[in-house]
Amino acid sequence: MTYIKRTLEKSILQMSQFFPAVLVTGPRQVGKTTILKNCESNSRTYVSLDSLDNRALAQNDPAMFLQNFPAPVLIDEIQYAPQLLPYIKIQIDKHQQPGMFWLTGSQQFHLMKNVTESLAGRVGILQLQGLSQTEKDGNRSALPFLPTEQYIKTQAVNAPEADIINVYERIWKGSYPKLYPADNIHWETFYESYLQTYIERDIRTLSTIHKELDFLKFMRSLAARTGQMLNYKAMADDVDVSAPTLKEWLSVLQASNLIYILSPYSNNIGKRFIKTPKVYFLDTGLASYLTGWKTPETLREGAMSGAMFETYAVSEILKSYWHNGKQPNIYYYRDKEGQEIDVLLEENGTFYPVEIKKKTNPTKEDIRHFSILEKLQLKQGTGSVLCMGTNPLSITQNVQRIPITYL
């Protein structure tokens, strides 16, 4: 399979020059091991804890494991043997060399807590998701999304024209590298196998979930609500589990990097804000499979067309930051009067409002709630509407329509 160059490579190499350990997290099969192997120019030992023999040794005799696999080493799926982390710390403190340990982890149930406790100040942590639009397009300028004039000018150079058929093909197909560039893997077979592997390896091994069919039903119910505010009671009734169980299962998906919980913006001025977060699947292909959309055409014309378009945009915004080694300050806004802004990006104290619309020609009516930022006494940057328009166009002096393909 042809390797598709990843934006995160630059951050991995930079962190490896500074930190003794680098941890790349992300869902299964997004290419964590592949990207690290492609970043390595010198010989580095590779060992996977998916192997039961390797896992047993790492869990039962960590010191011997590190003798067998000395640094520099790439340890795959470190979450299976957190017992290694204190011994890795000992090796780091003894040798104090950058880039000694490269680690991957596809599950954050206990991993992040263990890593931050054992390797505090010694590890750089990066997050990898599936292929971004820029990576699929041959790694055109991959900048963190911010609707500024400079961003738009940069992306206009090589971004493909927004075409609804091609856009929904990408939304439906998803972003797992195995599905690109060739079409030799059957879409439904891939996602069926993906879910089976996820439930067997991660859910059974690393969580207390025993009702696997109920958990799958929960995933389908949640996928049908992507882009919506979380309603625990409605979902609990739908899946027939208690609200506390539902919250636990939600945290499992979040720790698996399969969903993103988007927090609402609030400040200390008044109590008019909605405090309920929204949920987004991070891969629209997986969400499409879970909700039963068998073709791009049925998804494009179906009841979830708008929700999937919004989910796709949010996931691409997040990837544009994560794949550049950054964490976005991202929110949505909604108040008790029903005024809503799909996305608020904050950078250096300035707020950039973003609407997401599946239309070619958004109007001033679509950005009518942007004015709320002035009432909240927030410093407002340029705003935008991510849409199906084929080129950037001013809606007002301070708001641009931006084609979805510019992400």
Structure-model confidence comparison of residues 211 and 123, the more confident one: 123
Question: Are residues 137 and 120 part of one domain?
Answer: no
- Answer whether residue 270 shows pLDDT above 60: no
Question: Quick one: DSSP state of residue 304?
Answer: T
The predicted-structure confidence for 220-239, as pLDDT tens digits, reads as follows 999 999 999 998 888 888 88
Question: Are residues 245 and 393 part of one domain?
Answer: yes
In a domain, residue 324? The reply is: yes
Structure-model confidence comparison of residues 374 and 326, the more confident one: 326
Confidence class of residue 214 from pLDDT cuts 50, 70 and 90? confident
Give dist(CA 187, CA 179) in Å, integer: 8
Give dist(CA 132, CA 177) in Å, integer: 10
Give dist(CA 194, CA 213) in Å, integer: 15
- Answer whether residue 269 shows pLDDT above 70: no
Counted domains in the chain: 2
Question: Are residues 140 and 113 part of one domain?
Answer: no
Tell me the β-bridge partners of 264: 332
Question: Are residues 353 and 208 part of one domain?
Answer: yes
Domain with 64 in it? 9-127
Predicted pLDDT at 407: 93
In a domain, residue 1? The reply is: no
The predicted-structure confidence for 102-148, as pLDDT tens digits, reads as follows 999 886 655 666 777 788 889 999 999 999 999 998 866 789 999 99
Cis peptide before 70 (omega within 30 of 0): no
* Cα–Cα–Cα angle for 382, 387, 388, rounded to 5 degrees: 145
The predicted-structure confidence for 66-89, as pLDDT tens digits, reads as follows 999 999 999 999 988 989 999 999
Predicted pLDDT at 245: 85
70: tokens are 């000395």
Question: Are residues 330 and 274 part of one domain?
Answer: yes
Predicted pLDDT at 142: 83
Predicted pLDDT at 1: 66
Give dist(CA 325, CA 285) in Å, integer: 24
Give dist(CA 321, CA 347) in Å, integer: 12
Which of 93, 127, 161 terminates a domain? The answer is: 127
Question: Are residues 105 and 146 part of one domain?
Answer: no
Instruction: Supply the pTM of this predicted model.
Output: 0.94
Question: Are residues 72 and 46 part of one domain?
Answer: yes
Predicted pLDDT at 351: 96
Confidence class of residue 398 from pLDDT cuts 50, 70 and 90? very high
In a domain, residue 37? The reply is: yes
Predicted pLDDT at 98: 95
Give dist(CA 215, CA 234) in Å, integer: 16
Mean pLDDT of 370-395: 93
Least confident of 181-195, 315-329, 391-405: 181-195
CATH number, domain with residue 13: 3.40.50.300
The predicted-structure confidence for 305-363, as pLDDT tens digits, reads as follows 999 999 999 999 999 999 999 999 999 999 888 899 999 999 999 999 999 999 999 99
For the stretch 390-393, contacts whose Cβ atoms lie closer than 8 Å and that sit 24 or more positions apart, written own/partner, are 390/161, 390/162, 390/360, 391/156, 392/152, 392/156
Question: Are residues 143 and 100 part of one domain?
Answer: no
